[in-house]
Structures are given as C-alpha cells and as structure tokens.
Amino acid sequence: MQAGAVCIGAIVILFIYDWRMALIIIVVIAPQVAATRVSSHYLMNYMVQYQKAKGDMSNIGTESLSNIRTVKAFGDEEMTCLKFEKAS
C-alpha cells in the first residue's frame, strides 16, 4: 500500500517537472515491471519443484546410508542405486 503511494507520488512529481520525460520513463519502466512479475512467478514455481526434488533425493540418500546394513544384508544395493538415479 505504501509502495503504491510512493510510486503514484513519484509519477505526479515527474509530470510536474517534465511531462515528456515522465511519459518516456513510464513507457520504459512499465513493461519491465510487468516482465519481472511474470518471470518471478515462473521462477518461484521452478524453485519449489527444484527444492522438492532435492529433498526427495536427500531422503533417499539418507535412508540408504542409515540403513546400509539392511541394504547389504538383503542384497538390495542395485535397487537402491536405481532409486537414487531415478530421483536425480
């Protein structure tokens, strides 16, 4: 709310000083702001997916290392490696 008021105030001051410069600045900055908002939305979705995959991979690695005796006892080393490769 406060940031919006500051932006509106800055635009009003720009128009008071020089309306041509204000229009140029608005034409240049408005598309950049829109592009930033759109790209940040996609980047945030990608970041969430990346962190989830990283967490899954970490869980498989931790589970495999903490249960190494069980894995070796049942000869399941190859299956555990395949699970880790699939997750990564």
- What does the angle CA 25 – CA 28 – CA 34 come to, to the nearest 5 degrees? 120
Q: Locate 18 and state its tokens.
A: 């020089």
Q: Is-above-0.75 flag for pTM?
A: no
Distance from C-alpha of 77 to C-alpha of 70, rounded to nearest angstrom? 10
The overall average pLDDT reported for the chain is 84
Q: What pLDDT sits at residue 73?
A: 61
Q: CA separation (Å) from 29 to 14, 19, 44, 59, 73?
A: 13, 15, 22, 44, 64
| 49-56: long-range contacts, CB 8 A cutoff, minimum separation 24 | 53/87, 56/87
Q: Per residue in 51-84, pLDDT tens?
A: 998 988 888 888 777 777 666 666 666 777 787 7
